[in-house]
């Protein structure tokens, strides 16, 4: 398994274990973790995420900068649970968008086939 770009390769077993723990916390961040997120747009640099902790503390996560986060943990490790959780969200949303685009494409193809059938049958649309 290769690590996603936003998680640096661990140099020691301890680092690998720490990443696994952070990854585990990230997986439940927006559920059991009690965190919430908001996708912020309107900034020229592109959308970013505002993550709010159960204590009201907020963090900025930037997908365009390898899910760089404003939290102190990220400063020391170049990865964090907020970044990993947002990356998972982002991947889900991208998959959703792709599925929608594929569905739109299929609809368009079906419409073209239907239109052609109408024309072939001697009718003009």
Which residues lie near Zn ion (CB under 5 A)?
Answer: 59, 69, 71, 74, 80, 82
Tokens of 92: 């889900």
109 CB contacts (<8 Å, ≥6 apart)?
none
Looking at the Cβ atoms of 69 and 89, the one nearer to Zn ion is 69
Least distance to Zn ion, CB of residue 99, Å = 29
- Phi then psi for residue 14, to 5 deg, are -60, -40
> Considering beta carbons, is residue 6 or 59 the nearer one to Zn ion?
59
Nearer to Zn ion, 72 or 97 (CB): 72
Shortest CB 101 distance to Zn ion, Å:
31
Nearest to 81 by CA among 40, 15, 38, 30: 30
Please report how close the Cβ of residue 70 comes to Zn ion at its closest, in angstroms.
7
Q: How far is the CB of 103 from Zn ion (least distance, A)?
A: 34
CB-count exposure of residue 48 (10 Å: 0-12, 13-18, 19+): buried
Nearest CB to Zn ion, comparing residues 71 and 89: 71
């Amino acid at each position: 398994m290769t690590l996603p770009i936003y998680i640096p390769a661990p140099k020691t077993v301890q680092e690998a274990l720490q990443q696994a723990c952070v990854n585990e916390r990230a997986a439940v961040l927006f559920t059991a973790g009690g965190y919430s997120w908001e996708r912020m747009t309107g900034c020229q640099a592109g959308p970013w995420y505002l993550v709010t902790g159960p204590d009201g503390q907020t963090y900025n996560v930037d997908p365009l900068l390898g899910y760089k986060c404003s939290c102190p943990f990220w400063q020391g490790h170049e990865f964090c649970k907020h970044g990993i959780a947002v990356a998972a969200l982002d991947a889900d949303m991208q998959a959703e968008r792709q599925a929608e685009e594929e569905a739109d494409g299929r609809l368009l193809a079906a419409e073209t086939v239907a239109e052609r059938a109408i024309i072939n049958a001697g009718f003009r649309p």
